[in-house]
Amino acid sequence: MTTAAQAAPLVVAEGLVKRFGELAAVDGINFSIAPGEVVGFLGPNGAGKTTTIRMLSCNSPRTGGRLDVFGLDVARHPREIKAQLGVVPQDNNYDPDLSVFENLLVYARYFGIPRRVARQRAGELLGFVHLSDKSAERVDELSGGMKRRLILARGLINTPRLLVLDEPTTGLDPQARRLIWERLRELRQRGVTIIITTHYMDEAEQICDRLLIIDNGRVIATGSPPALIAEHAGQEVLEVVPEGGASGALEAALGECRFQKLGDKFEVFASDCPEALGRIRKQARLTSYSVRRATLEDVFIRLTGRELRD
Amino acid sequence: MRRFFPALSLRLWRVWHRNFIVFRRSFLVNFLLPMGEPILYLVAMGYGLGVFIREIDGMPYARFIGPGLVSVAMMYAAFFECTYSSFIRMIFQRTFDAIIATPVNVEEVVAGEIFWGATRAAINSLMVYLVVVLFGLGPWWLLPLVPVFGFVCGVLFASLGMIATALVPSIDFFNYPIFLFITPMFLFSGTFFPLSTLPKAVQAVSYAALPLTHVVRINRGLILGHFSPAPLGSLAWILVVGAAAFFTAIALMKRRLIK
């Protein structure tokens, strides 16, 4: 059963366009995000993820289309939107001239949060991101993971309805990443809607309810991680390395099967052509083959190609 | 102001306050340092060079340069705050990006920075004037007025600095406005010698294009007690050019920061 309040989306983008001169960084994106969802934006560098997020945070005027956050137009109500928005940007733009605690207090002031409330919230948030004992320290002295957690705490100082994170765990060690994931899951349980961009497929699979795969400024696929894998990569991937000169024969054996080549290795999406396995087994000159579960990375590479993006 | 810039609200003081918190940390250094330089100048030039000069415009040289030093403090404090310091906050620390993700907008960030630069001008000129008073070269009752005037002039110089900040591709480029504009002003605005010694054409340029000339004229009139209506024109010049520079700085910074 869906009530009207539940159905009203928190973010709606329709035909959203952002041009920088000739270049269309965002080229007609459509999506809508429901309250409580955790949505991941996946895409190669330059796909338009960060540009979309910057438009969403009301700091980059759109060229065309519609973009509403909390039912408000981003161009006409930036202050109202930003008051309820939490942002964790790609760069750690903490204030190096201030202590950890002051970073939160000063940021709270930008939102007009009364001093007493700000002090209380800053204390709670430092506990939430495990930084309570660093409160008085200078930010420059923190480790990379701690800095990132401070930025996360700062993004929560106004108890936002929507939290937007641009590559929140890039460059962190596995422990630090896990701590951030855990905190994000807890926020989701509290009903905070989350938008996250990432290059890490495990991150996308771990924390996102739904993914938008973006390339060349467009949404090219959307769905939950398991649904995307099932649709675009199937259950299993067969990895085959043919012996020298046998790749032609292998390609013939594959027939209609979907596959991609990585150097001399063939990755065959075997689920939609089970008979391929049998045919390949019969190929005498195959040195090795193995079967593994299809992953989100298979989907990503299939959809966005393998050439390098910068 | 609201009519022309509806985006500007009192939130700009939150940006000012952030800089004030940082300033407060090294309170003593920030207050005492501005006193050092005028002492050096007064001793070296006022009493060293002054021995050879004897009298200038009918007064000892040290008395003549006192108002000049107060004026230079107003210029340097505001201009340097809104060039190097603002640029570091904008580019290296990304502080402005962090602030505009909140309900505070770009216009307020820039205005807050400019008013902070003006506050630095008020503080530094007050400390310099304190030295002037201690040397017995100016009346004590001007002490409360100097920072007020320093703030007004500071808005002008801070806005000029902010215009440079909006335009320079990298931090090294500040050498150009300093070499082409600030240093000539330091020398040719009647700070260390009367403008009347210069050719008429140079005097005209100085009055038309160098803000410091007008600041020196007012400070000298007040501090030396030469009251006349002439400096009122200079005050009008400072207010008009200051307002124009202020809004130009906001527009240019907005162009730089919002893409």
Q: Do A82 and B102 touch (CB under 8 A)?
A: yes
Query: Which among A95, A140, A165 is the top mutation candidate for probing chain B, defined by the most B β-carbons within 10 Å of its own β-carbon?
Result: A95
- Asked, for residue A302, whether it belongs to a domain, the answer is no
The helix (run of H) or strand (run of E) holding residue B132 is helix B106-134
> How many domains would you assign to chain A?
2
CB B45 within 8 A of CB B65: yes
Residues A76 and A91 in one domain: yes
Q: How far is CA B52 from the centre of its chain?
A: 30
Q: Decide if A105 is inside a domain.
A: yes
Whether residue B18 and residue A87 make contact (CB cut-off 8 A), yes or no, is no
pLDDT at site A3: 47
Name the phi and psi angles at A99, rounded to 5. Answer: -75, 170
The residue in chain B having the minimum alpha-carbon distance to the alpha carbon of residue A95 is: B95
Q: For A58-70, b where at least 16 C-beta lie within 10 A, e where not — what string?
A: bbbebeebebbbb
Output the domain CATH number for residue A221.
Answer: 3.40.50.300
pLDDT value for A301: 84
How far is C-alpha A34 from the chain's CA centre? 16
Contact call for A109 and B100, based on CB within 8 A: no
Taking only the tens place, the pLDDT of each residue in B129-164 is: 999 999 999 999 999 999 999 999 999 999 999 999
pLDDT given for residue B8 in this prediction = 87
Q: A229, A245, A278 — which closes off a domain?
A: A229
What's A289's domain CATH number?
A: 3.30.70.120
- A241 in the same domain as A157: no
In a domain, A310, yes or no: no
Of A212, A229, A246, which residue is a domain's last? A229
Q: Residue B152's beta-bridge partner residues? A: none
- Per-residue burial over B208-238, b if 16 or more Cβ lie within 10 Å, else e, is eebbbbbbbbbbbbbbbeeeeeebeebbebb
- Cβ-contact A128, A156 below 8 angstroms: yes
- Same domain, residue pair A81 and A213: yes
Largest CA distance in chain A: 76
Question: Which among A229, A246, A274 is the end of a domain?
Answer: A229
Assess whether A144 and A275 both reside in one domain. Answer: no
ipTM for the complex shown: 0.89
In a domain, A97, yes or no: yes
pLDDT tens, chain A, 310 aa long = 444 445 689 999 999 999 998 899 999 999 999 999 999 999 988 889 999 999 999 989 999 999 999 999 999 999 999 999 999 999 899 999 999 999 999 999 999 999 999 999 999 999 999 999 999 999 999 999 999 999 999 999 999 999 999 999 988 889 989 999 999 999 999 999 999 999 999 999 989 999 999 999 999 999 999 999 888 888 888 888 877 667 777 777 777 777 877 777 888 887 767 777 777 766 655 667 788 888 888 888 888 876 666 5
Specify whether A156 is located in the same domain as A259.
no
- Is any Cβ of chain A less than 8 angstroms from the Cβ of B83? no
Q: Closest residue of A to B100, CA-based? A: A59
pLDDT score recorded for residue A283 = 64
Is residue A70 in a domain? yes
Please tell me whether residues A213 and A254 are part of one structural domain. no
pLDDT value at residue A251: 76
Statement to judge: residues A148 and A285 lie in one domain:
no
The parent domain of residue A275 ranges over 235-293
Query: Which two three-digit tokens encode residue A33?
Result: 């995000």
The pLDDT value given to residue A1: 43
pLDDT of residue A61: 94
Q: Is residue A100 part of a domain?
A: yes
Do A112 and B105 make contact, defined as CB atoms within 8 angstroms? no
A179/A86 same-domain check: yes
Q: Same structural domain for residues A35 and A161?
A: yes
Nearest to A89 among B11, B22, B97 (CB): B97
Asked if residue A301 belongs to a domain, the reply is no
In this prediction, residue A7 carries a pLDDT of 63
Q: Taking CA atoms, what residue in A is nearest to B99?
A: A110
* Residues A161 and A25 reside in one and the same domain: yes
Q: At what angle do helices B61-80 and B27-41 cross, to 10 degrees?
A: 140
What is the helix, strand, coil percentage profile of chain B, to 5?
80, 0, 20
| Domain identity same for A123 and A272 | no
Q: pLDDT at position A46, please? A: 85
Task: Specify if A67 maps to a domain.
Answer: yes
For residue A105, the chain B residue with the least C-alpha distance is B18
Do A133 and A224 belong to one domain? yes
B22 touches chain A (CB under 8 A): yes
What residues does A242 pair with on adjacent strands?
A: A286
Contacts of B11 in chain A (CB under 8 A): 110, 112
Mean pLDDT lowest for which of A206-215, A255-264, B45-54, B103-112?
A255-264
**Shortest Cα distance from A20 to chain B (angstroms)?**
8
Contact across the interface for A95 and B98, Cβ inside 8 Å = yes
- Check CB contact of B254 with chain A, cutoff 8 Å: no
Q: Tell whether A89 is within 8 A of chain B (Cβ).
A: yes
CB contact under 8 A, A97 and B97: no
Each residue's pLDDT tens digit, B201-256: 999 999 999 999 999 999 999 999 887 887 899 999 999 999 999 999 999 999 99
Nearest by CB to residue A106, choosing from B18, B103, B259, is B18
